[in-house]
Structure 1
Amino acid sequence: MDELAARWDLALVASGGGSTSRVFRCIKQDTGTSAWPKLTPEPGIAREEAEALQAWAKTPSVVTPLAQDLAAGALLLEDVEPGVQVSRRAWNLVEAAALLRDLRAGAPVPGEHSVLRLLSHRVDFVCDLTDRRLAAGDVNDPAVSKVLRQARAAALELAEGGPVGLVHGDLHPANVLSGPGARMVAIDPRPAWGDPDFDAVDWVLAGVADSAALEQRIEELAALVPDMSPRRVLGW
């Protein structure tokens, strides 16, 4: 971090948390503005995030990358103001729809040299992680294992048979910040190429207590997001 701070002319203010990375708050010494170096011990994760952020570079609903050192697993990200996690405030479907529209409109098709993998890989990762967590908690209920197998098969079928766009992959309200003009700004993608409807899941499930309410919420969101399929969102 000291080496990066010297190269990027940063003054370290504080370090933050993270699961696969560590984020630091810094001050850019030439402008006095905040910036956020993000370090991961897995350079492949940094490469994937960097590709997605560059692809969304013209999209104001995604955090802006300022610099990178991918061999070191390091990204330098622009500050987002006011920067409150959306999970910590009230939000509505109109705001979520604007975010999802921007992500779709600003995303290219896969390039020949893309380092991003297919959404099916993300599905397997999430299901494998769930398997490990169940095992760590000594959950050996055959009914739970059966549900997870069925969920994996259904999700892989959706992933392998749908449209292909740039997917954020981890778009829940804690990975979205309040930006200028009350715009939602996405951070921390775990990106993949696949069905963009995957990114809608957390936004339609929030606060829903039964299937009828879920279907109504999906219909409301799909009416605000062109090309969103209510059937596929419900499937996810």
Structure 2
Amino acid sequence: MGVHGASAAETGASAAVAPVPADVRARLAVRFGAPAEAWCDALPGLVAELAGRWGLTVRAAGGGGTARVFRCTSGDGREDDRDGGESVWLKLTPDPEVARQEAVALRAWAGLPPVVRVLADDPAAGALLLADVRPGTTLRQRAWRPEEVAPLLGALRSVPVDGLALGTLAERVEFLFDLTERRAPGAATAAAIGRARALAAELADGGPTALVHGDLHPGNVLDGPAGPVAIDPRPSLGDPDFDLVDWAIDGVTDRPGLERRVGALAAGVPGSDPERVLAWCRVGAVVVAAPRAAAGRRDAGTALLLELAGL
């Protein structure tokens, strides 16, 4: 989406409807299992059908871990770099439930400037049509400040949750643990996950309930015209302090630095609890650190996460 989506795109209209590359197929298979292969085979036809229905011209393709994302132009199909309103983003996932949940969350946040707008959706097809965000660079591409992201974090937890058809944060965390075990198998990972499951259950049982983004890291927040804009939620209902974890650990290399970062974030987000954020950091450290360790990473930030995770 914006530069974020295009940076990893296979550019050009012909590339956008080309077969899904082998490396992307492999990542989708890890996430969604064997059915992802048939979905990849059928994707060019699905893109063509949706483009016709919604009046789109496909310009480029990208994504890979959980979805394919297509940069499109709407209306008469002309490229018009002078007007960001001409660009839209078609997002497709092999799992219709993933698309449905994302649409539920984005519609609950409708009208909040810090969240991308959903223009149309077809959950049965695993499809979302999303507004463009300009300039669209991710916060991962530059230095960011806690006071800059605090308004976004506060806005996400501000909407009513009654009637939202979403699972619980406890269920979302269980899924993340299961995925981590597949990505980084082993006795040490299993033991650390066991401890983290117990802590997560304790936090989930005693915490507040709000709409949680669930995958809110600097790569999923874009520079927008009026400030940071969140994209790509993996939403659930539960303790919104979970959404502070990735911001707390990003770039931090020691415990005092982690505590300072948590304090700075919590000071700007009404209702957040620094002690709960630190506890969620211990839970999230397992999910982030185990795959890093399996890949051989030994940087200072990973070392801190391994310590927090007990790995």
TM-score normalised to the size of structure 1? Answer: 0.92
1:218 is matched with which residue?
A: 262
Correspondence for 2:27: none
Q: 2:251 aligns with which of 193, 207, 210?
A: 207
Aligned equivalent of 1:108, options 160, 176, 179: 160
Deviations 1:110-162 (A, max 9, x none): 31xx3310000111011111111122xxxx3x444322210121012112221
Asked whether the 8 Å contact 1:47–1:115 carries over to 2, the reply is no
Distance 2:189 2:136 in 1: 38
**Contact kept in structure 2, 1:170 and 1:199, CA below 8 Å:** yes
Larger RCO, structures 1/2 (Cα 8 Å, 6+ apart): 1
The reply on whether 1:94 has 2:139 as its aligned counterpart is: no
- Residue 163 of structure 1: SS of its match in structure 2? coil
Residue 231 of structure 1: CA displacement? 1.1
Measure, in 1, the Cα distance between the counterparts of 2:91 and 2:152: 23
| Root mean square deviation of aligned Cα | 1.4
2:41 equivalent to 1:41: no
| Alpha carbons of structure 1 residues 76 and 127: separation in structure 2 relative to 1, 3 Å | same
Question: Distance in 2 between the 1:102 and 1:35 partners?
Answer: 24
Distance in 1 of aligned mates of 2:77 and 2:133 = 15
Question: What's the counterpart of residue 150 of structure 1?
Answer: 195
1:223 counterpart SS class? helix
What is the SS of the residue equivalent to 2:184? helix
Give the SS at the match of 1:199: helix
| Structure 1 unmatched ranges of 5 or more | none
Q: 1:170-209, aligned counterparts within 5 Å?
A: 170-181=215-226, 183-209=227-253
- Cα offset, 1:62, TM superposition: 0.6
1:129-148 alignment to 2 at 5 Å?
A: 129-135=179-185, 140=186, 142-148=187-193
The aligned residue for residue 61 of structure 2 is 15
TM-score (norm 2): 0.70
Correspondence for 1:124 among 160, 174, 179: 174
Cα displacement (A) at 1:30: 4.6
**Following the alignment from structure 1 to structure 2, what is the Cα–Cα distance between the partners of residues 77 and 165?**
23
Alignment of 1:80 with 2:133, yes or no, is: yes
Q: Tell whether the 8 Å contact from 1:68 to 1:74 is kept in structure 2 after alignment.
A: yes
**Partner Cα separation in structure 2 for residue 46 and residue 191 of structure 1:** 11
Kindly provide the CA deviation profile for residues 48-98 of structure 1, in whole angstroms up to 9, marking residues without a partner as x.
Answer: 000000000011111000011111111100000000011111111111112
* Matched pairs, number: 227
CA distance in 2, matches of 1:149, 1:73: 33
Aligned-residue identity in percent: 56
CA contact under 8 A between 1:123 and 1:156: conserved in structure 2? no
Distance 2:194 2:208 in 1: 23
C-alpha distance in 1 between matches for 2:239 and 2:162: 12
The residue identity in structure 2 corresponding to 1:185 is V
Tell me the residue number matched to 2:274: 230
Distance 2:241 2:110 in 1: 21
Q: Which runs of 5+ in 2 are unaligned?
A: 1-46, 79-85, 281-311
Aligned AA for 1:227? G
Answer yes or no: is the 8 Å Cα contact 1:110–1:193 preserved in 2.
no
Greater fraction helix: 2
* Secondary structure in structure 1 of the residue aligned to 2:251: coil
Partner AA of 1:223 in structure 2: A
Q: 1:31 deviation in Å?
A: 8.1
